[in-house]
Structure 1
Amino acid sequence: MLEQQLVNALSLGCVYALFALGFTLIFGVLGVINLSHGAVFMVGAYAAVQAIARFDLPLWAALLFAFAFSGLVGMVIDFLVLRPLRARNAPHLIPMIATIGVAIILNNGVQGIFGAENLRFPSGVVSTDALDLGGIHLTALELGIILLSFALMAVLMFALKKTQLGRALRAIAESPKAAYLLGINVEQLFFLTSFAAAGLGGVAGVLIGLYSNALFPLMGQPMLHKGIAVIILGGMGDIRGAMLGGLFLGFAEVLSVAYIGSNMRDAVAFGLLFLILLVRPKGLFGTLQERKV
């Protein structure tokens, strides 16, 4: 049934969009493609599982814990890796290579602690209740994913567009040097951006872990590939593009599985992305100019 597939696609696309928001936020403000974002996504999922299993926290508290823990990991990455490279005016390729190394360290660390086998959230964490609306079966998990994702997207958009903090971040995205001359604490906002972006990635990790009911140390790698595709499709550094690109990828994947076959899932989704980029090489909202130093 098409309506049911659209609901499934919306819930998956929301997770992709949430992951891509953190990814594109880092690029837009710091000017860095953070290739450890997929590993941070995985760390968030594992943090939530441990919070529930070891401390018996409810799911909402585990989500907050995952956001905070992933955000702290993001800040540590920025402090230990990205900040020293910024101080040395390292070329753009160097932070990418460095964050690949960070991702390997995180992946191997989690695998060494928890093993390579799949983990699952404890049974009963998510309600099994469901709504049946005109033949559409909407589970409590799908509804929660959709509502939480759109709420976080709305908060982020409001913060960037309507607050003093958002204006400062947009000034940094345009030119860090000019923002510094205007009295903006650039380094502090870099840390804050790293925290928020990693936190969003961690929450996305929890949601995809609940959606697929499987966590493993390399779960962030395919998500990283999709996140890169999404931010390129939407336009590098554009929040609206990340949201729409994530939703597009979710719809393309689910509908291709439903009507073509699961073996063609990635081929169809990325093929459509390729065709769109042939028409719009800069992405859906890719009108941003190269930022000034």
Structure 2
Amino acid sequence: MFNEILHTIPQVLIDGLTLGAVYAVIAIGYTMVYGILELINFAHGEIFMSGAFIGTAILIVLTGIGWVSSIPAIVMLIAVLLFTAILTGFLGMGIERVAYRPLRNAPRLIPLITAIGISFLLQDIVRFIAELKKGNYIVTGPSLFTDQLSIKASSLSSIFNDATIKTSFVIVLVTAVIMMIGLDLFVNRTKWGMALRAVAQDRETASLMTINVNKVISMTFFIGSALGGATGVLFAVQYGTIDPYIGFILGLKAFTAAVLGGIGNIRGAMFGGLLLGLLEMFASANLTLLSHGVFGAEYKDVFAFIILILVLLFKPEGLFGKPVTEKV
């Protein structure tokens, strides 16, 4: 059994890093908002989904007018990523201004219910538009970066099987890593990042130090939503088919990744996303073998949420979070 598991490791690493990078960037959006407002923005998964649809729609239009053949695919993808990120960033800002800001001093349960309501609203709006335009809410984007590359892992050791990757894997992974590093540098090396950290630490004191708290919170929603929307485009490019409900399960898993790394900790969210992606792909590849056929690969989602339960039971502050002591 152990040897059979080792055979799958190269492919598990490739697929797990791709999925984990998606989880990590979405988890950043959850953890940024929670770090400042202590709000779980459950609509964030639907912002990711909206980005996937916006990016796919743009790519379909560009393909239809023949721009794919005249413009390098990577240049077109970068342009679509930037445009989608800006649109979803403003969408996140709008949601914060209309739905969350009036409830900022309300009991925590009220904005949480509002976030769930916004989530369902975005799902139905996107489904309505997709069915109106395509007659079906399941959309398949144009095929980009589909060339297959082979990794000869067997040449390193006979224990490993060879693995295959699409060129889109490299695009997704590199872009996600650039976004995560860029955000980390922004938060830790710029004045706006310092203001963000100050508001997260103590909102009232930050306002006394001439920091515009409302502007910082709006910026936080813009950045988190922009990253989520751009990641939606990467997801559509990698996996091809999208629907209005992909944000629900992916959003919950990204939230699991944020909790795993330490909710409110940006680097923890990055690590938690990558770790969850690797664990989920490992379960998908080997769960049938480990359970002697009792559980199949479809139970990988259960595996992810078991991790969430265990973290909440034994280390609720997460791997990189710090225990909070109540002052009496």
TM band (smaller chain):
over 0.9
Report if the CA contact (8 A) 1:51-1:65 is conserved.
no
- Counterpart position of 2:127: 111
1:283 aligned onto 2:290: no
Match of 2:61 among 31, 54, 77: 54
Letter in 1 for 2:251: L
Instruction: Work out which of the two has the higher radius of gyration on C-alpha atoms and give 1 or 2.
Output: 2
How far off is 1:35 after superposition? Answer: 1.1
Letter in 2 for 1:118: I
- Counterpart position of 1:144: 171
Letter in 2 for 1:172: V
- Counterpart position of 2:101: 83
How far off is 1:240 after superposition? Answer: 1.5
The correspondence of residues 36-47 of structure 1 with structure 2, limited to 5 A, is: 36-47=43-54
- Counterpart position of 1:120: 140
Match of 2:38 among 31, 35, 40: 31
Report if the CA contact (8 A) 2:88-2:225 is conserved.
yes
- Counterpart position of 1:162: 189
- Counterpart position of 1:186: 213
Q: Matches of 1:159 and 1:49 in 2, distance apart? A: 28
The correspondence of residues 236-275 of structure 1 with structure 2, limited to 5 A, is: 236-260=263-287, 261-275=296-310
How far off is 1:130 after superposition? Answer: 2.6
Moved more, 29-38 or 15-24: 29-38
Q: Matches of 1:172 and 1:244 in 2, distance apart? A: 24
SS at match of 1:130: strand
Q: 1:175 to 1:215 in 2, by over 3 A?
A: same
The correspondence of residues 1-20 of structure 1 with structure 2, limited to 5 A, is: 1-20=8-27
Report if the CA contact (8 A) 1:47-1:65 is conserved.
no
Q: 1:276 to 1:33 in 2, by over 3 A?
A: closer
Q: Matches of 1:288 and 1:201 in 2, distance apart? A: 28
Q: Matches of 1:109 and 1:272 in 2, distance apart? A: 32
Alpha-carbon displacement from aligned partner over 1:113-166 (angstroms, at most 9, x marks no partner): 11253101112x325253535444332111111111111111111111111111
Report if the CA contact (8 A) 1:16-1:204 is conserved.
no
Alpha-carbon displacement from aligned partner over 1:75-126 (angstroms, at most 9, x marks no partner): 110111111122xx11221111111111111111111111253101112x32
1:64 aligned onto 2:82: yes
Report if the CA contact (8 A) 1:71-1:195 is conserved.
yes
Q: Matches of 2:312 and 2:178 in 1, distance apart? A: 29
Q: Matches of 2:28 and 2:265 in 1, distance apart? A: 9
Q: Matches of 2:325 and 2:23 in 1, distance apart? A: 26
Moved over 6 A (4+): none
Q: Matches of 2:326 and 2:196 in 1, distance apart? A: 13
Report if the CA contact (8 A) 2:51-2:88 is conserved.
yes
Structure-1-length-normalised TM-score: 0.92
Report if the CA contact (8 A) 2:56-2:236 is conserved.
no
1:102 aligned onto 2:118: yes
Q: Matches of 1:103 and 1:80 in 2, distance apart? A: 14
Report if the CA contact (8 A) 2:253-2:304 is conserved.
no
Structure 2 gap ranges (5+):
1-7, 68-75, 154-161, 288-295
Q: 1:277 to 1:97 in 2, by over 3 A?
A: closer
